[in-house]
Amino acid sequence: MDTFVTAFAEAGALLVSFDLGFLSIVGLSMRISLTAVVLACLIGFPLGAIVALTHFPGRGAVTLLLNTFMGLPPVVVGLIVFLLLSRAGPLGVLGLLFTPAAMIIAQTILVTPIIAALTRQITSDLWIEYGEHLRSLNASPLGTVVTLIADARYSLATVVLAGFGRAIAEVGAVMIVGGNIDHATRVMTTAIALETSKGNLSTALGLGIVLMALALAANAAVQLINSRAQRRAALA
Amino acid sequence: MSSTVSILPLRVQHLAFEANGTQLLDDVGFTLEAGRRTVLLGPNGAGKSLLLRLCHGLLRPTSGKIQWSAGAQRATRQQAMVFQRPVMLRRSTISNITHALAVRGVAREKRKARAESALEIAGLAELARRPARLLSGGEQQRLALARAWATEPDILFLDEPCASLDPAATHYVEALIEGFHADGTKIFMATHDLMQARRIGDEILFLHKGRLLESGDATAFFVQPKTKEGRAFIAGELLW
Ligand SMILES: Nc1ncnc2c1ncn2[C@@H]1O[C@H](COP(=O)(O)OP(=O)(O)O)[C@@H](O)[C@H]1O
Ligand SMILES: [Mg+2]
């Protein structure tokens, strides 16, 4: 119990000291996870909408895959990306292993199915409601997708934040492909794992608190968006 | 109302629609001319909504012809449909209209003015900024009509637009329909409501169990229906 209290105190001190090493770890985490989420949205929004709105052979299988991949274990994704990027692997020549780029790739793979699967669900629900009106107006495929994504904006914002929450909190994938190299690929989750194993509980806890605060902020944003949407019922 | 020539008349010949082995519409044929208000009358389940959707191009017929007096592209652009349950986008009242105009390719600078005059006509100018889904049922249906009007169709399909409205809201919607008609838009409205058919119809298409039993002048139909089903319906004895 004593160590717990001391750890908390030290963590607090670390937080207010603006320790540079500490801040760079937090900064790298944010940079990697935000980039991964943006990339996942660029792929996942259109992919989800296309699966929802078009008919092609194997559509059911794609839906099943997307839904299954929502729960991909991060270590497995890390392992696969590792194999692809390792010197002997097919993408080895790129020399990306143990760089932030590799971590971004791994997290993008982790988050894209979440964004795509939820986008598919949301747009197909909205299509049931809007479909006849949009077809009556003879909307183009692009116009249709733009309308549905624009009008699902509140639900989709929640999806984006869920994706971010998954990326920022995972440790398995970034550990394997990033290697937890100091000043290069060390992020909050891998640093917590390392500091804990070294017995530096205060540093680990300080990072843990920042991580929790970020998760809290993301969830608070989701809740704010939802309640705002509910208040304006109708735009939700 | 486009400045160019109308896409009417619409010629429907030997139209049939079958789903899961059931013949839902069978050998339906009629011609819709510009001008007169045509009411598609029949009990629930007769196939009125199906027929409207087929004419509007939302469904494909199993067999038969639907021919407009204009090329396919112009024909699709020059028609609009208002559904029984109005589709309200999750946007403001006015954006529901500007969105439709944008989809129809109306130039950006013209959209707002046209949307505003449509709202004015529908008595919704005060509610322009309100989320459309917070409007009352009657207001939503008026917005759906205003939205259709703004796209300047030659023909307006109306599928029981008053079916879930109270008498006051119904009266308002009917007045708007009257305004469209006066403006030169062809009205083609489905209803199961005999009184409404009497109020609005210049000509009647009487549909029963997927077959078009009578078509022609409204007065003639109400005074002297040609079929026993028509007589029974007018007497209020035909329940389905
Ligand atoms: N898209 C469709 N596919 C198959 N059956 C349909 C479809 N739309 C309507 N039906 C069926 O066709 C019949 C006529 O329906 P409908 O046109 O809605 O009647 P009405 O509008 O005259 O009340 C009903 O039995 C309905 O279940
Ligand atoms: Mg109907």
Could you give the angle at which helices A141-151 and A153-169 cross, rounded to 10 degrees?
Answer: 70
Atom 25 of ligand 1: nearest residue by CA position: B45
B131 touches chain A (CB under 8 A): yes
Work out the minimum CA distance from B87 to partner chain A, whole angstroms: 6
Q: Residue A133: closest CA among chain B residues belongs to which residue?
A: B87
A138 touches chain B (CB under 8 A): yes
Question: 3-state class of B29 per DSSP?
Answer: strand
Q: Between 3.40.228.10, 2.40.50.100, 2.40.30.10, 1.10.3720.10, what CATH number should domain A2-235 receive? A: 1.10.3720.10
d(CA A125, CA A15): 44
Of B132 and A4, the structure prediction assigns the larger pLDDT to B132
Please give the helix or strand (H or E) that residue B79 lies within, else none. Answer: strand B79-82
pLDDT in tens, A215-224: 888 888 888 8
pLDDT at residue A172, rounded to an integer: 94
Residue with token string 């964004």: A115
| Ligand 1: centre distance to CA B44 (Å) | 9
Per-residue pLDDT of chain A (236 residues; tens, 9 = 90+): 677 787 778 778 877 887 888 889 999 999 999 999 999 999 999 999 999 999 899 999 999 999 999 999 999 999 999 999 999 999 999 999 999 999 999 999 999 999 999 999 999 999 999 999 999 999 999 999 999 999 998 889 889 998 999 999 999 999 999 999 999 999 999 999 999 999 988 888 888 988 888 888 888 888 888 787 776 655 54
B106 touches chain A (CB under 8 A): no
Q: What are the chain A neighbours of B132 within 8 Å (beta carbons)?
A: 234
d(CA B117, CA B218): 33
Residue B170 pLDDT exceeds 60 = yes
A143–B133: do the CB atoms touch at under 8 Å? no
What's this model's pTM, rounded to 2 decimal places? 0.85
ipTM above 0.90, yes or no: yes
Ligand nearest to the CA of B207: 1
What is the pairing mode between strands B186-191 and B155-159? parallel
pLDDT at residue A234, rounded to an integer: 54
Ligand nearest to the CA of B50: 1
Work out the minimum CA distance from B131 to partner chain A, whole angstroms: 6
Q: Residue A142: closest CA among chain B residues belongs to which residue?
A: B103
Which residue among B23, B24, B39, B59 is best mutated to probe the pocket of ligand 1, counting the most ligand atoms within 8 A of its Cβ? B24
How many C-beta atoms lie closer than 10 Å to residue A196's C-beta?
15
Contact map slice: A 207-236 vs B, CB within 8 A: 232-236
Q: Which atom of ligand 1 is nearest to the CA of B59?
A: 1
A133–B83: do the CB atoms touch at under 8 Å? yes
pLDDT band at B194 (very low <50, low <70, confident <90, very high): very high
Work out the minimum CA distance from B181 to partner chain A, whole angstroms: 20
d(CA B69, CA B181): 20
CB-nearest partner of A136 from B80, B131, B132: B80
End-to-end CA distance of chain A: 46
B91–A233: do the CB atoms touch at under 8 Å? no
Which residue among B23, B49, B83, B157 is best mutated to probe the pocket of ligand 1, counting the most ligand atoms within 8 A of its Cβ? B49
| Ligand 1: centre distance to CA B19 (Å) | 9
Ligand 1 residue neighbourhood (C-beta within 6 Å): B 19, 24, 42, 44-50
Work out the minimum CA distance from A139 to partner chain B, whole angstroms: 6
d(CA A193, CA A180): 10
| B205: Cβ contacts below 8 Å, ≥ 6 apart | B30, B38, B39, B40, B41, B212, B214, B215
For chain A, the structural domain boundaries read 2-235
A182 touches chain B (CB under 8 A): no
